[in-house]
Every structure is written in structure tokens, then in C-alpha cells.
Amino acid sequence: MIFSKTFPNIFPSVKRRTVVIFLISFLFIGPIGEAFGQKKNAVFQTGERLTYKVKFGFVKLGTLIMETGAPAAGNRVNARMKFWTAQVPFLDSKDVVDDIIDTSAVCLMRFEEHGHDGSKKMERTFTYDPVKREISYSDATVQNRIISDVRPFSDAVALFFNLRAWNGSGGKYFFPLRGHEGEKIVNCYFSKNEKEQECPAFEDKEIQTYVVEGRAEMGDSAPLGASGKFTAFITKDEASIPIRIDMKIAIGSISLILDKVERTGWQP
């Protein structure tokens, strides 16, 4: 997770071993896609809204929404992620992340988070200056802390778009991470192999997808026995919409399963 070495009190403790902590620790990593000479899919569309059920087997743990907002200056666009837990014992979390993403490099320019995990509030913002290679970071205890010599990176939302942008490329790309144990790597293989995947959002229709296999270095303290392995099934078209993402844990997987799609002019 980004910043956890410089700011050790920013992130929730993994000792609680909750599903929410797993999602935060796995999804809010900070990779940079290294994709050379490959044409990106046109995945950014203003007004897109993708709704996912977060599930462990047959148990619904929560809901996650990815939204693409209005264009910002230059090649940038506003995007939002919202997550909240279902009515499951011991889980009480809500998180809203507002980003500005550079659509050319598919990396993060600005991040703002508001939410809670139980009684613990999550309030933080930062902006990235790609020219100075600096981050200006603020939270409840830190104001405008400058972090220097930082190359472009992603959060959960930008990573989500990176998976879509390079979908079907057939390439093996790596994503460096900035974490409390130094730089770590997420390796992804974007297969050209097709697979039919059932999707509840389309009344159990079989959808043609490409498969992305990946692994993030999670470390020995990974919650829920997470190996860092994940598999994404992403539609075989220019929109490249993930219809399912499975994240491996000690027993089974936690899955994001597409439930609703709002994207102008798109049909499965």
C-alpha cells in the first residue's frame, strides 16, 4: 500500500482480518503499468457506471460502484469509487474515493477519500505533480506533506482502468508498488484466449471475455491469507468491462461480480 512506510498510521491494521481490510489492502495498492508499444482500449466514457456485488461464495459482503465523471484539464478525467458493506455481522464500512486520472498514461493525478471502517474514519487527500515528481499529502494529522522522487502510480480506480486498457493485448506487464517494505511488483498476463463467462447483469447470458491473470506481492501479513493472486474476466470489446474479478484468499476467493452496467451505446 502506498505511503504506509512514511505515514504508518494512515492505513487500518491488518490484524483485524476483516473483509474490508482485505479489500483496502489489496485494491489500494499503487502500481504503474509498464506496457510498451501496445494500443490501449478506449475505456474512458463520461457517465459510465458499473455496479458490482462483493461476494464470498454465496454470501454478499457489500457493493462496489465505479463511475467515470466529466473530463478535467488536458487528458484527465474525474472518476469515483464507492464501497459499502452489506448487513453482515462485524462489518460496517463505507468508502468514497474521488480521483483525477491521466487517461494517456492511465495514472493518478489526484486522490480524495472519505469513509469509515467501524469507528475508524478514513479522510485523506493527495495531489501528484508529474513534472516535479512530488506528492502533496494531507489527512487528519498531516497537512501538505511533500514526498519527493515519486514516479507515476495508480490507486484502485486507476488500476481498474489499466486492466481494461490493456485487456486482450496478450502481453505480460508488471506494475511496481510503493509499500512499507519498499517497492513490490504486481505481474499481469493479459491473455488473448477467449472464455465464455456467465454474468448476472445480463440475465445469466454467456459473455465472451479475455482473461487477465495477476499476482500482487502481499507480504507475510496479508489479511485473510491472501496470496495476491487474482483473475479478471473482461469483455472482448473496446469497452473492456470487467464482469468478474476473483481475489484468492486462504479458503476460496472474494469476488467482484458485475450487477449493473450504464454505458452509452454499449451492448454485451
> Domain of 124: which CATH number?
2.40.360
Greater confidence (38 vs 94) lies with 94
Bin 204: left if φ > 0, else alpha if -120 < ψ < 50, else beta: left
Asked if the structure places residue 158 within a domain, the reply is yes
Residue 188, φ and ψ in degrees, nearest 5 = -130, 135
Q: What is the mean pLDDT of residues 191-201?
A: 87
How would you class 40 by CB atoms within 10 Å of its CB: exposed for 0-12, middle for 13-18, buried for 19 or more?
Answer: buried
Q: Is 6 a member of any domain?
A: no
User: How far is residue 4 CA from its own chain's centroid?
Assistant: 17
Range 220-234 average pLDDT: 73
Residue 29, domain member (yes or no): yes
Residue at 8 is within a domain: no
Residue 9 lies in a domain: no
* Stronger pLDDT, 187 or 245, i.e. the higher one: 245
Residues 140, 65, 108, 155: what is their CA dihedral angle, to the nearest 10 degrees?
70
Three cell numbers, residue 228: 495476491
Residue 4 lies in a domain: no
Summarize pLDDT for 152-195 with one digit per residue, the tens. 887 778 889 989 999 999 888 876 655 444 456 778 899 988 88
Residue 267 lies in a domain: no
Calpha distance 104→119 (Å, rounded): 38
How far out from the chain centre does Cα 27 lie? 5
Domain that holds residue 217: 14-262
Q: Which of 58, 114, 40 is nearest to 84 (CA)?
A: 114
Q: How confident is the model at residue 214 (pLDDT cuts 50, 70, 90)?
A: confident
Cα 22 to Cα 27: distance, rounded to the nearest angstrom: 8
CA distance 201 to 203: 6
CA-closest candidate to residue 196, choices 186, 184, 208? 208
**139-157 mean pLDDT:** 86
The total of structural domains in the chain comes to 1
Which region among 8-22, 137-151, 211-225 has the lowest average model confidence (pLDDT)? 8-22
Structural domain includes residue 7: no
Quick one: cell of 223?
489479511
